[in-house]
Structure 1
């Protein structure tokens, strides 16, 4: 049952990607469709239109295999020896720093959201306890 649920949740994520594709095609904006779909999904999650439980397992599965998506680009570097010059070193440094900054920001945002959710849960529990007295 969990496999079917995970596949269904990956399908939901895929649908958001294709909604992003449609939006980019219709509007002609210069933002990658995956980002448009991701922002749309994020907005619906933040507005509680979609419950995170509907995508949690599928997203977790995809994140577990995320490093596989970077292998082709890493292997491709071997075909371009000019990347091993000073300019290439600066490029690698820029990629490294932007990755670290992204990880830090994502971590901080995740902690903020987790704290906010925890506060809401505690407030709901406290309100439930108060009403029973």
Structure 2
């Protein structure tokens, strides 16, 4: 029974993907259909149109196998050895700098949002 529930939830999530792909084709939106579908799921969850319990275990099942999908991309990089042989040493510092830059920007944004929400909450408690 649990497997059936997960399967139904995965099919439901796949429906959002198909809807996003259809919107991409129909409206010529410059985003991939999968991203549009993800935004539709996020919007439905944010507006409480979709309950998290309706998709949670199916989403966890998909996330548990997600690393498998990176294997083909990693193997495909092996076809471009000539590109990485000359510039491969530059990729290491670029990766390190971009990682720290991403972490810094993410922490700055999260701190700013937390402070604004804290001020809003404090302001509403005073009224």
Q: TM-score, normalised by structure 2?
A: 0.71
Provide the rounded CA distance (Å) in 1 between the counterparts of 2:78 and 2:60.
31
Structure 1 residue 12: Cα displacement: 0.5
Residue 4 of structure 1: CA displacement? 0.2
Tell me the residue number matched to 1:90: 91
Q: How far did 1:79 drift? A: 1.1
In 1, Cα distance between equivalents of 2:87 and 2:2: 49
1:58–1:97 Cα change, 3 Å: farther
Q: Distance in 2 between matches of 1:53 and 1:85?
A: 50
How far apart, in 1, do the equivalents of 2:93 and 2:5 lie? 39
Q: 1:95 to 1:73 in 2, by over 3 A?
A: farther
Matched, 1:58 2:58: yes
Q: CA RMSD in A?
A: 3.1
* Alpha-carbon shift at residue 83 of structure 1 (Å): 2.5
- Report the Cα offset of residue 85 of structure 1: 2.9
Deviation string for 1:66-89 (max 9, x for gaps)? 000000000111111113432684
Question: Aligned residue for 1:115?
Answer: none
What residue in structure 2 maps to residue 28 of structure 1? 28
Asked if the contact 1:83/1:89 (under 8 Å) is kept, the reply is no
Question: How many residues were matched structurally?
Answer: 106
Structure 1 CA distance, aligned partners of 2:15 and 2:59? Answer: 13
1:72 match: 72
Structure 1 residue runs of 5 or longer lacking an equivalent are 113-133
Q: Which runs of 5+ in 2 are unaligned?
A: 114-127
Counterpart mapping for 1:1-133 below 5 A: 1-81=1-81, 82-86=83-87, 89-90=90-91, 93-94=94-95, 97=98, 101=102
